[in-house]
Structure 1
Amino acid sequence: MKFFLIELEYTVPMEKLNEVTPAHREFLQTQYDKGVLLLSGPRVPRDGGMIIGKSSSLEELQEIMKNDPFVKENCAKYIYKEFAPVKYQPFLKEWLEL
């Protein structure tokens, strides 16, 4: 399994982003339910967001994220950064090993 930090940079005005956010969060919840995502949220200040997820490959994760309403509505640019967790809180062990 590979692990990724996905950084979002918003590319539309906040009004448009606010319209699409409920569908975006619904999409994210589906990925949480599947075990793909660990956490997500807006950056502070709210000019983008951060997501931590896992997948067997970068290409697989990018394919999943193509269905995100933020992608479909061109609301954000996605930057994928792979990393290898070596230290973590014990409660994360199950998610990291699945």
Structure 2
Amino acid sequence: MFVLNVTYLAPIEAVEPHIEAHMKWVAEGYERGWFLASGRKNPRTGGIILAKGNREEIEAYLAQDPFVTSGVAKYEVTEALFSRTAPGLEALAN
């Protein structure tokens, strides 16, 4: 399991023009079976994605995020090895 921490590098006004393309990119991450949950941070300084799969493939995919290619955001990838989950969240366990 990976926690993908998105941090904006630019003011939200510079991020907003890239949101539609980013959301299409996020949808493709779900279609590939990598993304399990995603959403913005509060306050709005970036977002978080929970992902599973091959780290190298996921990191290569992150480099294609329109937020990254436009230079308005960066990712930090943290691997988490969950050994216990609440009922219904078994997909998060390794």
TM-score normalised by L of structure 1? 0.85
- 2:75 corresponds to 1:75: no
Report runs of 4+ in structure 1 exceeding 6 Å deviation: none
Q: Residue 50 and residue 12 in structure 1: after superposition, are their counterparts in 2 closer, same or farther (change >3 A)?
A: same
Pairs within 5 Å for 1:1-98: 3-56=1-54, 58-93=55-90, 95=91
Gaps of 5+ in 2: none
- Percent identical: 32
TM-score normalised by L of structure 2? 0.88
After superposition, the C-alpha distances for 1:60-92 in whole angstroms (9 at most, x for unaligned) are 210111111111111112101001121124434
* Cα-Cα RMSD: 1.6
| Partner Cα distance (1:89, 1:17) in 2 | 35
Gaps of 5+ in 1: none
Residues paired across the two proteins, number: 93
